[in-house]
Structure 1
């Protein structure tokens, strides 16, 4: 069995990626914003099972290619099984972007919810730039505090009772300063891209909003509710003393940790398939132009 963490999370990835984007918005980006009218050769770093390829290839001009690179053996195997059944030009490689050598051979370098897991995302971005011919790049990355701010519950559950934004900001910022892994990197990517020399940098926000409606049809609810749970919304917290100890180790005071645990427990206890919930992931999509002239 693979020891790589994300090899064990294929079902999680499969069950949650769809929460982030509307297909018509991705089509709008490709055709109206990026104006991709000629075949594109794209590379996807940390590709997982090839989610971005599956979404973008049908929207791109015929002749476009997709190269996916991931550290996970099982993820690449899963991707190959999927793409072998599809009529696209695809190359899938197992590799670690921190170690592989790159050359400017692609038109677009992509990543999705990948940089937030990197200890040195700036260096990874530079590698992405180095793999692109003069042109551009697209990064789909989360901004956790915006994500946490964009929940709506029915009147029986107040947002401030279950999502403590100030405490979460502190946790994210301490985690980033300690490990280099920044869950809020999505909102910082335009700055980083500009600092690394890209021009005409822009950032878009996914328009996807998920609505769990008590009155929705059973099939839609049976798909949405488990995916929201798997995304972490209302998950059961671990044993209290262990959870609070971990929170203190991450930078909270004992009082903050106790209150945070109580908030997580309350959401777990009150959120169920008959709840009303609106949730906007607010994925940030940043891109710019590489120019070596």
Structure 2
């Protein structure tokens, strides 16, 4: 487990999760939409360092509990450190969700940007459902990459100069067919849940629109710029031949890969912390209730 990829990404996770939501929106969902008014037992599939726990526990009623499950031992260690001095009741379990058995003992099961990394999302959703008591709620925060890519505006450039939507849509679909892992899973979760027998299904989008404003507070904007770079926008595409070769292996034609290299090279050069940029991650938030 020491070589688990996400164990090396704690810094990335901590710098980018906040780009998706405003805290008051999560509070609105919990208190006004899902109406969680009594203590709940929460289990988080692919919990990472416990990000969702840090957001949900201050908002749900006292005496609620949070159990996080992840395959990364460094992630679990970090999560335990994050919650060490808090008043919340937490437990973290190291293990492979694909092979673990879970008791039907939870009021809420959640996942955050987890299903896109698995080859069998419907099977994982079934496992999540299996954790819940009658009347329990499943909540999935998952991306829809193609709508995310459509949600950038860099002042002074046409969006078509920076993002090849048609090509990327085909590339993401090709990736899914090849690997089973689906970066567009967020838009499909409502369908999958219905097919698995979940009731009262609703889907929303994350609310935050990030605005990089050179006329605003410098420290605040530097933090946002760093997080956006960490999230991948404006990243250096690296050596051209290697970049093109990788995309061709993923199903792109040579010309498509070459054009994408030009686009990403342009973005890496023009995206600086003194430009105007708006960006919305547009994650899909799907929930439903289990009726047994």
TM-score by length of 2: 0.98
Q: 1:175-210: per-residue Cα shift (whole Å, max 9, x none)? A: 001111000000110000000000110001111000
Shift of residue 136 of structure 1? 1.3
Alignment partners' CA distance in 1, 2:38 and 2:57 = 12
Aligned equivalent of 1:233: 233
1:147 is matched with 148
Unmatched runs of 5 consecutive residues or more in structure 2 = none
Structure 1 unmatched ranges of 5 or more = none
Q: What's 1:199 paired with? A: 199
Corresponding residue of 2:89: 89
How far the C-alpha of 1:214 sits from its partner, in A, is 1.2
Q: Deviations over 1:111-164 (max 9, x none)?
A: 00000000111100000000111121100001000100001111x222101100
What pairs up with 1:1-293 in 2 under 5 angstroms? 2-134=2-134, 135-154=136-155, 156-292=156-292
Q: State TM-score, norm by structure 1.
A: 0.98
Write the distance in 2 (CA, Å) between the matches of 1:39 and 1:196.
Answer: 27
Shift of 1:71: 0.4
How large is the RMSD of aligned CA atoms in angstroms? 0.8
- Secondary structure of the residue aligned to 1:140 is strand
Deviations 1:208-257 (A, max 9, x none): 00000111111101210000000000000021011001111111111111
- Mapped to 1, the partners of 2:242 and 2:214 lie a distance apart of 34
Q: Distance in 2 between matches of 1:289 and 1:93?
A: 25
> Structure 1 CA distance, aligned partners of 2:82 and 2:94?
16
Q: CA deviation at 1:2?
A: 2.1
Q: Residue 44 of structure 1 aligns to a residue in which SS? A: strand
Distance 1:175 1:34 in 2: 34
Aligned length: 291
Cα deviation, 1:9-51, whole Å, max 9, x if unaligned, reads 0000000000010000000000000000000100001000000
2:58 alignment partner, SS class: helix
In the alignment, the residues of structure 1 paired with residue 66 and residue 33 of structure 2 have an alpha-carbon distance, to the nearest angstrom, of 20
Q: What secondary structure, in the 3-state scheme, does the structure 2 residue paired with 1:177 have?
A: helix
